């Protein structure tokens, strides 16, 4: 668990599926990312069974997934990262629309980024964003991500027209 101002990040568990179904069912979320709302709590549970393993099927990539839980006890969304063998990763977040514009995503992402940098020795993170998702673009800027050319994205091909952002993290010295 990661504590942050006004919220905590809980490591994803299958048991979160029932609580997360409603927040992830908001159609507005999918205006900015591929996919559709989960079909049912059962479908979300199946997805969480896979994600909760913490590794890709070939065990090369580490999957980090946290549920964003507010002080009120509500689940607001999630933060996630995929860490690749070369210590770079992809970073993403989703919050239900009723929590947009309240600083929750900033606090959750800042806490996750600090953990990733401190605990996992990741050197760079990347995020891809639909160009019409201005909130997300502003958030990445506040988190010190910088826009890069899509051709410089090292983890495959981003969605067509997506903007790509990168965050360089400090590299720990060998004696650390």
Encode pLDDT of 137-175 as tens digits.
999 999 999 999 999 999 999 988 999 999 999 755 444
Whole-angstrom Cα distance, residue 12 to residue 65?
A: 5
State the CATH number of the domain containing residue 100: 3.40.630.30
Residue 55 and residue 90 in contact, taking contact as beta carbons nearer than 8 Å = no
| CA 175, chain centre distance (Å) | 30
In a domain, 150, yes or no: yes
Closest CA to 99 of 125, 68, 127, 143: 68
pLDDT reading at 60 higher than 60:
yes
- Inside any domain, residue 174: no
Output the average pLDDT for the chain: 93
> pLDDT digits over 22-47, tens only?
999 999 999 988 889 999 999 999 99
Q: Inform me whether the pLDDT recorded for 176 exceeds 70.
A: no
175 part of a folded domain: no
What number of other Cβ atoms are within 10 A of residue 35's Cβ?
8
Mean pLDDT of 45-65: 95
Task: Give a three-class secondary structure readout of 51-99.
Answer: HCCCECCCCCCEEEEEEEEECCCCEEEEEEEEECCCCEEEEEEEECHHH
Helix (H/G/I), strand (E/B), else coil: 8 = strand
Domain count, the chain: 1
Domain extent for 47: 2-168
List the one residue out of 121, 117, 30, 19 whose CA is nearest residue 75: 19
User: Nearest 5°: phi and psi at 102?
Assistant: -115, 5
Residues 7-11: what's their mean pLDDT? Answer: 97
């Amino acid at each position: 668990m990661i504590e942050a101002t006004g919220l905590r990040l809980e490591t994803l568990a299958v048991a979160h599926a029932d609580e997360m179904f409603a927040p992830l069912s908001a159609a507005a979320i999918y205006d900015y990312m591929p996919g559709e709302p989960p079909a049912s709590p059962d479908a979300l549970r199946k997805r969480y069974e896979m994600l909760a393993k913490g590794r890709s099927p070939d065990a090369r990539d580490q999957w980090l997934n946290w549920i964003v839980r507010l002080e009120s006890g509500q689940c607001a969304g999630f933060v996630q990262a995929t860490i690749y063998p070369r210590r770079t990763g992809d970073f993403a977040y989703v919050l239900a629309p009723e929590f947009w514009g309240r600083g929750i995503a900033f606090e959750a992402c800042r806490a996750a980024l600090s953990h990733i940098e401190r605990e996992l020795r990741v050197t760079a993170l990347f995020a891809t964003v639909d160009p019409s998702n201005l909130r997300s673009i502003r958030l990445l800027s506040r988190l010190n991500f910088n826009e890069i050319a899509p051709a410089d994205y090292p983890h495959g091909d981003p969605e067509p027209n997506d903007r790509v952002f990168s965050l360089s993290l400090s590299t720990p010295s060998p004696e650390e």
